[in-house]
Amino acid sequence: MILKYDLPKSAESKITLTGDERIYYAVPIDIDEAGNFTNDSYFVVTTSRICIIRGKDTKEYTIKDFDKASAEPGIGGGLLTARKGDTHTVLAHYSSKHLSRYAYIARGINILISGRFEEVISPEYEKMCPICGRAIPGTKTCPKCSGKGGFLSVFAKMAGPYKKDFLGIFLVMVFVAVTTLLNPEVQKHLINDVLSKDGKLSTALIYLSLMFTFSVAIVILNIIKSNASARLGSKIAADLRKQLFEKYQKLPLSFINDRRPGELLNRITQDTRFISDFMADVFCNLFAILFIFIWDVIFMMVLNLKLALLTFILVPFVSVLMITFRKTMSRIFGLQYRKNDDVASNLQDVISGMRVVKTYGKEKDESERFKAVSETFAVIQKKNERFWGMFDFFVNVLMGMGLVIVVYFGGMDVLGDKMSAGELYQFIAYTLLLFQYIGWLGRLPRELSRLTSSLERIYDVLAQDVHEEPDTVREIDIKGEITFDHATF
- pLDDT band of residue 129 (cuts 50, 70, 90) is low
- Contact by Cβ (8 Å): 456, 154: yes
Residue 141 has pLDDT above 70, yes or no: no
**Cα–Cα dist 173/271, whole Å:** 26
Average pLDDT, the chain: 81
Lowest pLDDT segment from 33-37, 87-91, 428-432: 33-37
Residue 254 has pLDDT above 60, yes or no: yes
Return the closest-CA partner of residue 313 out of 399, 417, 254: 399
Residue 118 has pLDDT above 60, yes or no: yes
User: For residue 115, what are the CA distances in angstroms to 109, 110, 112, 145?
Assistant: 10, 9, 5, 38
Return the closest-CA partner of residue 401 out of 318, 481, 337, 322: 318
- Contact by Cβ (8 Å): 53, 73: no
pLDDT, tens digit (0-9, with 9 covering 90-100), for 397-445: 887 888 888 888 888 888 888 888 888 888 888 888 888 887 777 777 7
Q: What SS3 string covers 278-291?
A: HHHHHHHHHHHHHH
Lowest pLDDT segment from 291-305, 416-430, 453-467: 453-467
Burial class (CB in 10 A: 0-12, 13-18, 19+), 360: exposed
| Superfamily for domain range 151-462 | ABC transporter type 1, transmembrane domain (1.20.1560.10)
pLDDT, tens digit (0-9, with 9 covering 90-100), for 173-204: 888 888 888 888 888 888 888 887 777 888 88
Residue 149 has pLDDT above 70, yes or no: no
Helix (H) / strand (E) containing 23: strand 23-31
Return the closest-CA partner of residue 166 out of 69, 267, 236: 236
133 vs 62 pLDDT, higher one = 62
- Contact by Cβ (8 Å): 71, 29: no
| pLDDT for res 220 | 92
Domain residue limits, the chain:
9-113, 151-462
Q: Helix, strand or coil for residue 199?
A: coil
Residue 151 has pLDDT above 80, yes or no: no
Mean pLDDT confidence for 31-41 = 84
Residue 136 has pLDDT above 70, yes or no: no
| pLDDT for res 473 | 58
What architecture is the 9-113 domain classified under in CATH? Answer: Roll (2.30)
Q: Please, what is the angle between helix 284-303 and helix 201-250, to 10°?
A: 140
Task: Work out whether the CA dihedral 88, 94, 99, 100 comes out positive or negative.
Answer: negative
- Contact by Cβ (8 Å): 376, 289: no
Chain centroid to CA 103: 28
**Cα–Cα dist 29/21, whole Å:** 22
Return the closest-CA partner of residue 94 out of 120, 76, 118: 76
| pLDDT for res 137 | 54
pTM of the predicted model as reported, rounded to 2 decimal places: 0.59
Residue 384 has pLDDT above 70, yes or no: yes
**Cα–Cα dist 166/170, whole Å:** 6
Long-range Cβ contact pairs of 298-301 (< 8 A, separation 24 or more): 299/181, 299/430, 300/427, 300/430, 300/431, 300/434
